[in-house]
Structure 1
């Protein structure tokens, strides 16, 4: 069950990928809930609109930058993403996650909530016909190869982690709740609003229900 009161450490979070559409909602909801939020972005221009958060500038693949951003934080939410890449190898997610894990260990920060996606790990093959047979192989195969590497780094980190695998994202208003599943035998696709993903991810900062697991979340 989710704790009703956050201690002072738990209220202090670092959000990576905060300038993306899901990351922005995570920041907005976290600030509204009283979290002390730091975001890491490549430039102040990209971070426009993230009111209420403290900005650290730099590259998420740079361990030195990450260690600076992590100082005083109690948890990390990674909403890092990368564009579809049909032909070019993708390494940015795993590279950044490797640097993040090392930085978190160095700074003594243990809680990591990391968004990957439907199609990673044992959720592969549960996206429905269109996703599994067209979108995934033609556009996302190389991205998901790196998401798999990313998940492996998190699993082997020794940190207190939750991997969150949303179904296909949409920009509709949130419903205020999600279905979180690890038994995917009856899952064949699905969609979820970014707002509901943000809400679920924030819950994992304090809630141990899914600790050490990789739920697929959908509506």
Structure 2
């Protein structure tokens, strides 16, 4: 497949890039700083926090699908993901590209947004400890990050594209295992962490799975 990988030098993005190339895909990497690429690959320089429509159209032109690992690094840059993804969606529409798989986060399942103002109070995959302690603490610390990702999910839901969002919990740097669990529309009971490499592994496989279109997918070890 011809794939465009957005934020290809980030935590999940670098695994997407490595795995996609290893799988034989024809890849275009979208990066803010091409000097950070550690392999020879077609690249387009674009910063989704200040998107250039022409650069994004060039990045997705002729792609079969887009994989987006774009998101805030922390509270300080929360708020960039939704508008950046909106610009990416507009470029995809202009270029006739329909399939996109994007990274979100597990707590977004219960985070209100303009397009989803009344989410479930508790995710069906949450255990008692997560409901009482993990989720409330996470919201206090990273609430703006989750709100940004929830707004990004709104953008995809309203896009008319064939979208999938993947909602991992805490990300680790363990090597790819392929032994993760997934669930459509909910998080995973007892799933507190997952490797960035495994998130990338699943995103690539979700591309060809029609059951994931229009779905938020929980993933965890």
- The aligned counterpart of 2:116 is none
Q: Provide the rounded CA distance (Å) in 2 between the counterparts of 1:35 and 1:153.
A: 27
Identify unmatched segments of 5+ residues in structure 2. Answer: 112-120
Q: Provide the rounded CA distance (Å) in 1 between the counterparts of 2:72 and 2:185.
A: 27
Q: How does 1:1-219 map to 2 (within 5 A)?
A: 11-46=1-36, 48-49=37-38, 51-60=39-48, 61-85=51-75, 90-122=78-110, 126=126, 128=130, 129-138=132-141, 140-182=142-184, 184=186, 187=189, 189-219=191-221
SS of 2:84 mapped into structure 1: helix
Number of matched residues? Answer: 204
CA shift, 1:122, in A, is 3.6
SS of 1:164 mapped into structure 2: strand
- The aligned counterpart of 1:5 is none
CA contact (8 A) 2:168 2:218 kept: yes
CA shift, 1:184, in A, is 4.0
SS of 1:120 mapped into structure 2: helix
**CA deviation string 1:71-115 (max 9, x = no partner):** 111100000121221xx5732100111101111000000000011
CA contact (8 A) 1:59 1:65 kept: no
Identify unmatched segments of 5+ residues in structure 1. Answer: 1-10
**CA deviation string 1:33-84 (max 9, x = no partner):** 00001011112223x21x2421111222222211011111110000012122
TM, length-normalised to structure 2: 0.85
Give the structure with the higher percent helix.
2
**What is the RMSD computed on CA atoms of the aligned residues?**
2.1
Cα–Cα, structure 1 residues 208 and 145, in superposed 2: closer, same or farther, change >3 Å?
same
Q: Provide the rounded CA distance (Å) in 2 between the counterparts of 1:201 and 1:189.
A: 18
CA shift, 1:189, in A, is 4.5
CA contact (8 A) 2:167 2:187 kept: no
